[in-house]
Amino acid sequence: MKNIHGKQRIVESGIRDAQLLRQDKMCFKAMEAIFVPEGTELHGFFCLKNETMVPAGRLSMSAGPELDAEKDGREMMETKELLQKIKEGSLSVEEGEKLLRRQPFEDMGYAKIDTHRKIRSGFAEVIFCSGKADEHLMSIYERIYREEGEVFGTRASGEQYEMIKKSFPETIYDPISRIIKIEKEGKKKIGNIAVCTAGTADIAVAEEAAQTAEFFGSKVSRIYDVGVSGIHRLLARLDVIQEANCVIAVAGMEGALASVLGGLVDKPVIAVPTSVGYGASMHGLAALLTMINSCANGISVVNIDNGYGAGYIATQINRLGCRE
């Protein structure tokens, strides 16, 4: 909601009429059916709750006069519920559009948790763990988990995992990809993404890509150690690779694998240069330049060692492939 002066009438599903008033501070003078979770601040807005000025987070949309406690004491209308109300006619299309266009986030001071990202992009926020202070990482991890029911972090250290699992023993950590996560059970996996590596040393980056795609609901076929020094190994698995909706090629040294795959498949190839190699590989720069300059068509390139970025893009492509 905009920080505006004067009065403005607001009508939202499950929320009775309210007026935005200009007083000593911007505040909501709420009718009995407006509910807000206590303890969080949103853009300097405050709510009069039982005549007491309290910080207000996102407006909670509930049909009854009481706020049902759920996890952290907050109940938000799910997207499916909102669409169902539109279908039933209890919420207009215009009102629903306004609610979906809102871009809420929780300002924690040191971080702004983008709680609306999944609605906008189809992917919930992911944590880049490396370099974060322990207390910051723990708070962000907990907040996203409570919001989404699952959480995914990249580039986590073993020490960070040991810290987090004390509070969340269900947390899973993979020391190869350095991914840390809590994942919902029974998640449906769709389509197929082929993740290929030139060598075994590239698997750490490849697993970051593969596990990212799996977390976001994609099936993944792993084809490892099929680099150009033994091209017959790649050709032996070509049928599996060609059936995928998208191919991720992970390679260090000269980075030729992406060009070879680009000439063998009719699907997009996402090339991931790795920092694997000897001196003149320049920590992945040689592979990056090879991939960027490939004469094969249909190849896109992400940053050096960016398995997460490749897995994310591949999932977007895979989802499109499954819609057809």
116 and 197 housed in the same domain: no
90 and 159 housed in the same domain: no
Q: What confidence tens digit (pLDDT) does each residue in 68-110 have?
A: 333 333 334 567 788 888 889 888 888 877 776 655 777 788 8
At residue 6, the pLDDT reads 35
Cα dihedral across residues 286, 292, 293, 294: positive or negative: positive
- Residue at 300 is within a domain: yes
**Of 49, 73, 101, which residue is a domain's last?**
101
- Residue at 113 is within a domain: yes
Number of domains forming the structure of the chain: 3
Contact call for residues 189 and 218 (beta carbons, < 8 A): yes
- Residue at 289 is within a domain: yes
66, 207, 237 from 177: Cα distances, Å: 45, 5, 24
Q: Smallest Cα–Cα separation from 194: which of 178, 210, 211?
A: 210
194 and 312 housed in the same domain: yes
Q: How far apart are CA 324 and CA 319, in angstroms?
A: 9
At residue 37, the pLDDT reads 41
285 and 239 housed in the same domain: yes
Helix (H) / strand (E) element for 285: namely helix 285-292
- Residue at 147 is within a domain: yes
Q: What confidence tens digit (pLDDT) does each residue in 179-232 have?
A: 999 999 989 999 999 999 999 999 999 999 999 999 999 999 999 999 999 999
Range of the domain at 119: 106-182
118 and 140 housed in the same domain: yes
At residue 158, the pLDDT reads 96
Q: Specify the pairing of strand 172-174 against strand 127-128.
A: unpaired
Taking residues 57-70, report their average pLDDT: 33
262 and 146 housed in the same domain: no
29 and 70 housed in the same domain: yes
At residue 8, the pLDDT reads 34
pLDDT band at 112 (very low <50, low <70, confident <90, very high): confident
Taking residues 125-149, report their average pLDDT: 93
- Residue at 232 is within a domain: yes
High-pLDDT (> 90) share of the chain, %: 58
237 and 292 housed in the same domain: yes
88 and 13 housed in the same domain: yes
Q: What confidence tens digit (pLDDT) does each residue in 1-38 have?
A: 333 333 333 333 333 333 333 333 333 333 233 333 44
**Of 65, 82, 101, which residue is a domain's last?**
101
- Residue at 324 is within a domain: no
pTM of model > 0.85: no
219 and 315 housed in the same domain: yes
At residue 102, the pLDDT reads 58
Higher pLDDT, 135 or 108: 135
250 and 270 housed in the same domain: yes
At residue 299, the pLDDT reads 97
Contacts (Cβ under 8 Å, ≥6 apart) of 78: none
DSSP 185: T
- Residue at 19 is within a domain: yes
At residue 50, the pLDDT reads 37
**Of 130, 159, 182, which residue is a domain's last?**
182
Angle between helices 307-323 and 203-215 (to 10 degrees): 40
Place of tokens 């070509």: 238
218 and 307 housed in the same domain: yes
